[in-house]
Amino acid sequence: MKKYVIILALALFQLSSLAQDLISKYKTGTIKLVPDTEFAQGNDWNTVFRSYYDTLYNRPMGMRKSLVVLPDGSVIVNHAYRNYRTKFSPSGAYEKEFELEKAGHKAVLGVINGNTLFTGLNNMGKMTCTDFDGKYKKTLTLDYMTKDIIALNNGSFAVVGWVLWAEKIRSFVAIVDYDTNEEKVIWEDFIDRNISSSGKHLNKRQPFNYQATLKGGGIVSYTTMPYSKSTGKGLPPQIATVNNELLVAIPNTGELFVYDLNGNLKSKTKVNWGNNTISVEEQKAIQQKAIQRYQAYLESGEEMVQKNRDAFKQIIVEMQDDLQKINTPIEKPSFSNIIKDSDGNILFFEIPAEKDANVFHVWVYNQGGKFVAKCQFVCDEYELNISASKMVFHNGYIYSLQRLKEAKGNPLRLVRFKVEGA
What is the DSSP pairing of strand 136-141 with strand 75-78?
unpaired
Residues 301-341 have pLDDT tens digits of: 788 888 898 998 999 999 999 999 999 999 999 999 999 99
- In this predicted model, what pLDDT tens digit does every residue of 27-53 receive, in sequence order? 999 999 999 999 999 999 999 999 888
Please state which of the ranges 9-23, 34-48, 170-184, 208-222 shows the lowest mean pLDDT.
9-23
DSSP assignment letter at 313 = H
Residue 9 is predicted with a pLDDT of 40
Cα separation of 223 and 220, whole Å?
11
In the prediction, which pLDDT does 57 show?
Answer: 60
Please, what sign has the CA dihedral across residues 305, 309, 311, 315?
positive
Share of the chain above pLDDT 90, in %: 70
Helix (H) or strand (E) holding 128: strand 126-130
Instruction: Please report which confidence band the pLDDT of residue 150 belongs to, taking 50, 70 and 90 as the band edges.
Output: very high
CA pair distance 143, 162, nearest whole angstrom:
10
Please report the pLDDT score of residue 55 as a whole number.
Answer: 73
pLDDT digits (tens, 9 = 90+) for 98-117: 999 999 999 999 999 999 99
The pLDDT value recorded for residue 401 is 97
The 10 Å Cβ neighbour count of residue 189 is 17
* Ramachandran sector of residue 128 (left: φ over 0; alpha: ψ -120 to 50; beta: rest): beta
Does 119 have pLDDT greater than 80?
yes
Residue 228, pLDDT score: 79
What is the sign of the dihedral through the CA atoms of 351, 352, 358 and 359?
negative
What is each CA distance from 54 to 50, 62, 64, 218, 412, in whole angstroms? 8, 7, 10, 30, 13
pLDDT value at residue 196: 65
Question: CB-hemisphere CA count at 13 Å for 187?
Answer: 23
**What radius of gyration do the chain's Cα atoms show?**
24
- Answer whether residue 297 shows pLDDT above 90: no
DSSP state of 64: G
Instruction: Kindly report the number of other CB atoms within 10 A of residue 411's CB atom.
Output: 19
Percent over 70 (pLDDT), the chain: 90
Question: Which tens digit of pLDDT belongs to each residue from 221-247?
Answer: 888 998 876 555 579 999 999 989 999
In the 8-state DSSP scheme, what is residue 105?
Answer: T
Partnered with residue 128 across adjacent β-strands are 139
CA angle (148, 151, 152) in 5-degree steps? 125
